[in-house]
Structure 1
Amino acid sequence: MQVTVNGIDTHYLLDDRSGGPVLAFVHQLGGDLTVWDQLAGHFRHRYSVLRYDVRGHGASALSREPFGVAQLASDLNAMLEATGIANVHLVGVSMGGMIAQQFALDYPSRVRSLALCDTVSRTAPEAREMWNQRAALVRREGTAALATATIERWFTPDFRRTHRETVEKISDVLLRTASEGYAMACEALRDFDAHDRLAALKVPTLAVAGRYDTGTPAALTQRLAQAIAGARLEILDAAHLAPVEESQRFAALLETFLHQSV
């Protein structure tokens, strides 16, 4: 399905056959909505499951102008308005977790609960140049230039060896991601800082980190959780894409959390 939000032709999937509350998933940088395939199948019997491709990713159009995470949150808000969805249980991983934080801060009445996975509440000043360098590299050479290092950061060696089909599928999505879409998102993440606002959140929150995540160490996700009153932190035996690598454990955690939040 396609909808135009904030001038961006946006690809999304909404499985609302259950008639249940809406559970929305937001993917990582260099990903698309298919990263949630397994979890969407798990939850579609009790929830209406919404997934979409962030602008410049998957089958969603590129942005003509630079944007920040606030604009990405605005895209999600506009999508909910266009599809007649009042509020959601919101799950985001990595970049998706940043979008979810921003969305909950900017549109609090639309969020019933938050699950923030392998993500941070701000980009440290010393890390901003890394995002500039990554954007420049991808503009020069495409996402293939960082694909190997990215996949090694996203999954542990054991998972890469035993789940090759899953890893190859996610790697293919990264390789197909538009260079400019990826680079512009890098620049948005470079400037992200929601940390000092998190105390204002009054929504049930689950934070999930990967024990072996070198890109977003668990300590950073823990710092995020500590800034949100009542947030619960869980650490899984995974690298950066913990909801994929530990999908069964994550599904169980999320199911319990949602049951308590409804």
Structure 2
Amino acid sequence: MQLNIKGIDTRYVLDNEGGGPWLTFIHQLAGDLSVWDQMAGYFRDGYTVLRYDLRGHGHTAVSPDDFTIDDLADDLAELLGKLGAPSTHVVGLSIGGMVAQKFAINHADKVDTLTVVGAPAFIREDARPTFMQRVASVRENGTNSIVEPTLERWLTAEFRKAHPEVVEQIGETIAHTPAEGFARAALAISRFDARDGLASIGKRTLVVAGEQDNGTPHAESRAIADLVPGAQFELLKAAHLSPVEASQRFCALLDAFLRAAA
């Protein structure tokens, strides 16, 4: 389904068999809402599950202008408003975790709980050139050129060997991400910093990191839990995409967290 959010045609999928509280999942850079298929299948009986594609990803149109992570958080607020959601549990992965942090800071009245997965509290100054290099490379060579190195960062060698069909699907999603959609989102990531607002988050918060996540070392994720009052931190045996690689453990962890917040 599609809705126009700030002039951008935005794809979303709503699973509301359970008719329960809203639960929103936000995907990673060069991903789309399909990364949450398994989670949606598990939670849809008890929740109204929302998944959507960020600007320039999946079947959501590319933004004509540069934007910030705050803008992406505002997109979510408008999407929820148009769908009639009073508030939601929000779960974000990678850039989705950055959007989730800003959403919890800037739209606190719309947040029931916050779950941040594989994301830092800010992008270090020395990491910004890496994002700029990826932007330049993708603009010149397309997203197909980053499939293999991205998969190597996102998933451990053991998982890639054992689950080639999952790896293939994720690789295809990366390759089909519009180059400019990737570039504008990567630029937004390079400027991300939520540290000033994290202490203001008053909702129950879960922070999840992968032990073998080299792209976002777990110490950078732990910094979020250190700044948000009372936040819970969990480390899973996975690389960057822990909801995929450690799906059963992640699912059980999120389920228990949401039930405790009910």
Query: Is 1:75 aligned to residue 44 of structure 2?
Result: no
Q: CA deviation at 1:196?
A: 2.0
1:115 and 1:246 mapped to 2: Cα distance? 16
Report SS of the residue matched to 2:116: strand
Q: Distance in 2 between matches of 1:106 and 1:91?
A: 16
Instruction: Report SS of the residue matched to 2:214.
Output: coil
**Per-residue deviation, 1:117:** 0.3
How far apart, in 2, do the equivalents of 1:64 and 1:169 lie? 28
Q: Secondary structure at the match of 1:34?
A: helix
SS in 1 for 2:86: coil
Is 1:14 aligned to 2:1, yes or no? no
**Deviation at residue 102 of structure 1 after TM alignment:** 0.4
Distance 1:143 1:64 in 2: 18
Counting matched residue pairs gives 262
Give the TM-score normalised by the residue count of structure 1: 0.99
2:84, 2:224 → 1: CA distance? 31
Structure 2 equivalent of residue 146 of structure 1: 146
| Runs of 4+ residues deviating >3 angstroms | none
Amino acid at match of 2:223: R
Map of 1:240 onto structure 2: 240
Which position in structure 2 is the counterpart of 1:31? 31
Partner of 2:61: 61
| Superposed CA offset, 1:83-123 (max 9, x none) | 11110000000000000000110000000001100101111
Matching residue's letter, 1:186: A
Percent identical among aligned pairs is 47
The one-letter code matched in structure 1 to 2:171 is S
**What residue is the counterpart of 1:220 in the other structure?**
220
- Deviation, 1:147, is 1.1
Q: Aligned to 2:17, what secondary structure does the other structure show?
A: coil
Deviations 1:124-148 (A, max 9, x none): 1111111111111100001122111
2:206 counterpart SS class: strand
Aligned to 1:137: 137
Q: CA deviation at 1:68?
A: 0.5
- Counterpart secondary structure, 2:199: helix
Q: Could you list the per-position Cα deviations for residues 60-88 of structure 1 after superposition, in whole angstroms to 9, with x for gaps in the alignment?
A: 00101110101101110110111111100
* Matches of 1:41 and 1:137, distance apart in 2: 36
Alignment of 1:60-139 (within 5 A): 60-139=60-139
Please report the RMSD computed on the Cα atoms of aligned residues, expressed in angstroms.
0.6
1:196-211 map, 5 Å: 196-211=196-211
**Distance in structure 1 (CA, Å) of the matches to 2:18 and 2:42:** 12
Structure 2 residue aligned with 1:5? 5
The secondary structure found in structure 2 opposite 1:216 is: coil
Paired letter, 2:256: T
Deviation at 1:232, TM superposition (A): 0.5
Mapped to 1, the partners of 2:146 and 2:194 lie a distance apart of: 27
Q: What letter corresponds to residue 143 of structure 1 in structure 2?
A: T
Greater mean alpha carbon deviation, residues 252-261 or residues 119-128: 119-128
The secondary structure found in structure 2 opposite 1:115 is strand
Number of the residue aligned with 1:180: 180
SS in 1 for 2:208: strand
- SS of the residue corresponding to residue 200 of structure 1 reads coil
- Name stretches of at least 5 consecutive residues in structure 1 with no aligned partner: none
Give the distance between the partners of 1:128 and 1:169, measured in 2 at CA.
28
**What is the DSSP-based 3-state SS (H/G/I as helix, E as strand, rest coil) of the residue aligned with 1:24?**
strand
2:160 match? 160
